Amino acid sequence: MQVAGRAVRLVPDRGSGVGESALPTEHQRSLSAVRQAAGPVATRQIGEMPGLDTGVRGKLEPLRGKLTKLADRGWLHKRPDGKFTARP
């Protein structure tokens, strides 16, 4: 996304001074769902928490992309088995 001709990240890197409130609402919900889980969770399990229709693959792929982006930016940890956990 661009603002005033400059590229702006919708999902900032996790770091000091950057709180969860800096994340878009949907990403905050996904992060919260992972934190509420008892352990590592798959995308399908996370999608079931807010009531997403997980039987439709087209609904899961955007969610997987959001979770991966959160992991890439340091908010979550993506395990080798594809499941996600919250970072301390």
Tell me whether residue 55 is in a domain. yes
Structural domain boundaries enclosing 59: 39-88
Question: pTM (2 decimals)?
Answer: 0.81
The pairing of strands 2-3 and 76-78 is: unpaired
Tell me whether residue 19 is in a domain. no
pLDDT single digits (tens) 5-56: 665 678 888 988 888 999 999 899 899 999 998 899 999 888 887 666 667 7
Q: Answer yes or no: is pLDDT of 57 > 80.
A: no
CATH number reported for the structural domain that contains residue 69 in this entry: 1.10.10
Candidates 47, 41, 84; CA nearest to 62 is 47
- Angle, helices 57-72 vs 25-36, to 10°: value is 90
Tell me whether residue 30 is in a domain. no
pLDDT single digits (tens) 58-87: 778 888 999 999 999 999 999 999 999 999
Question: Which positions ≥6 away from 85 have C-beta within 8 Å?
Answer: 34, 39, 40, 41, 76, 77, 79
Q: Answer yes or no: is pLDDT of 2 > 60.
A: no
Number of folded domains that form the chain:
1
For residue 84, what pLDDT is reported?
97
